[in-house]
Amino acid sequence: MRPIALLATLVGIVAVSAAFAFGGRDHSSGFRLADASAACRLQAQRLVCANLRARAGVALRARGAPRAVAARVWWDASTPVLERWSHGGLSCHTAAAVIFCRNSAGASIAVDALRVSQ
């Protein structure tokens, strides 16, 4: 019985550690700038991006034009810093502290600390 109790304890510790490490969030669906001034997150098949100053964000789907949205984007220090990201017809990269994203139809958005543009 003792080895089973030890194994159960170890499995519990690993599970709790993983829960704290990832905070219950799927970080593969979101990213941010290194200075945390702007971020994007995949929400219901659209990429929503915003910065700390914006009252609204901009949404980009795999096809079609970007749209202003009231949706908020949540991020914190555990959200990965963007280098390159792609998902289902959307791709993003960062350059000069700006997030640039494009969809398969060629529509694009740019987000930085000061502006959210379509």
Domain parsing of the chain, residue ranges: 25-117
Q: Are 92 and 82 in contact (CB under 8 A)?
A: yes
How high is the pLDDT of residue 44? 86
pTM for the model stands at 0.74
Dist. CA 96–CA 10, nearest whole Å: 45
How high is the pLDDT of residue 112? 93
User: Who wins on pLDDT, 18 or 94?
Assistant: 94
Q: With bands split at pLDDT 50, 70 and 90, how would you rate the model's confidence at 21?
A: very low
Put the strands of the sheet holding 84-87 in their side by side order: 84-87, 90-95, 98-103, 108-111, 116-117
The predicted-structure confidence for 95-108, as pLDDT tens digits, reads as follows 999 999 999 999 99
pLDDT at 52 over 60: yes
User: Who wins on pLDDT, 105 or 23?
Assistant: 105
